[in-house]
């Protein structure tokens, strides 16, 4: 009887420790995610102020973005078990802010550009907090969603590359709407993975959520620019 009780207590303590560890990963993820916004804003500000991203032709900009983004993501995954991973992640977010400056410059060309950017920021924050709240109340396992979400992301990536050459406004609008839906679902999936213990590294978790937020913000900004941009 005592042996059974000890076994039970051992299982109980183990479960509590596991829950505490998962909460720690989630908390560290949110802190690092908040910190990652600072280099992003700095990179975007420098990009807009200097026009460095706009100086590049669209083709060169695409190549720099693809090589830089995937290179940084590879480096982050290689260094995620050490403090170096945090530094690489923050450098990555600075780079992403720099690349975002091209779109921001276009939006700021509208007389209501600042308002559109703030609206996109507020909309992205609402989506994130809504999806984060949803992830905490969903009890079912969402791991099966992963393959469908990644296939969707791949389809949108390929469609975006095709539209880079086609330059269709209708296609861009459609992809922006799909991106908001897809990466909102990714937010729920990525946060739920941390909560359920499927993701145990807070640097990787931060990278995933950062990309979700970045894509939602960029898509919202593109839609607002198409429908709400005022050149008067």
Q: Could you tell me which residue, 11 or 88, shows the higher pLDDT?
A: 88
Using one digit for the tens of pLDDT, what is the confidence trace for 79-126?
Answer: 999 889 999 999 999 999 999 999 999 999 898 889 999 999 999 999
- What is the number of alpha carbons within 13 Å of residue 111 lying toward its C-beta? 3
Assess whether pLDDT exceeds 50 at residue 23.
Answer: yes
How many other C-beta atoms can be found within 10 angstroms of the C-beta atom of residue 155?
13
Q: Which of 76, 114, 82 is closest to 95 using CA atoms?
A: 76
What is the model's pLDDT at position 171? 87
Residues 6+ apart with CB under 8 A from 8: none
Q: How confident is the model at residue 4 (pLDDT cuts 50, 70, 90)?
A: very low
Could you read off the pLDDT of 114-157 as tens digits, one per residue? 999 999 999 999 999 999 999 999 988 888 888 999 999 999 99
Q: Which pTM was predicted?
A: 0.89
Q: What is the mean pLDDT of residues 160-168?
A: 86
- Lowest mean pLDDT segment, chosen from 34-38, 53-57, 143-147: 53-57
Give the span between the Cα atoms of 160 and 105, in whole angstroms: 20
- Proportion of the chain above pLDDT 70, given as a percent: 91
* Cα distance between residue 189 and residue 100, in whole Å: 25
Neighbours of 32 (CB within 10 A): 21
> Could you give the dihedral angle defined by the CA atoms of residues 209, 193, 137 and 135, in that order, rounded to the nearest 10 degrees?
20
Provide the pLDDT confidence category of residue 223 given band limits of 50, 70 and 90: very high
As a whole number, mean pLDDT of residues 14-33 equals 85
Q: Domain total for the chain?
A: 1
What integer pLDDT is reported at residue 207 of this predicted model?
Answer: 96
Res 166 pLDDT > 80: yes
pLDDT at position 1 is 36
**Domain enclosing residue 113, as ranges:** 2-228
CA 36/CA 84 separation, integer angstroms: 14
User: Is residue 206 scored above 80 in pLDDT?
Assistant: yes
């Amino acid at each position: 009887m005592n042996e059974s009780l000890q076994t039970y207590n051992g299982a109980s303590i183990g479960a509590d420790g596991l829950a505490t560890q998962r909460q720690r990963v989630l908390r560290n993820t949110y802190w690092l995610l908040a910190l990652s916004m600072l280099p992003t804003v700095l990179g975007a500000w420098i990009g807009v102020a200097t026009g460095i991203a706009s100086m590049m032709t669209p083709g060169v900009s695409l190549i720099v973005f693809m090589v830089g983004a995937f290179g940084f993501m590879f480096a982050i995954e290689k260094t995620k078990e050490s403090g170096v991973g945090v530094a690489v992640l923050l450098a990555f977010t600075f780079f992403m802010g720099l690349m975002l400056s091209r779109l921001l410059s276009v939006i700021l060309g509208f007389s209501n550009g600042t308002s559109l950017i703030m609206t996109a920021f507020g909309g992205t924050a609402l989506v994130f907090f809504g999806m984060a709240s949803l992830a905490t109340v969903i009890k079912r396992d969402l791991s099966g969603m992963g393959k469908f979400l990644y296939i969707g992301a791949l389809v949108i990536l390929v469609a975006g590359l095709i539209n880079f050459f086609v330059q269709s406004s209708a296609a861009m609008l459609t992809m922006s709407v799909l991106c908001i839906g897809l990466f909102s679902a990714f937010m729920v999936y990525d946060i739920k993975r941390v909560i359920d213990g499927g993701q145990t590294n807070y640097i990787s978790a931060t990278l995933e959520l950062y990309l979700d937020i970045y894509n939602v913000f960029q898509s919202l900004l593109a839609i607002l620019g198409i429908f709400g941009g005022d050149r008067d």
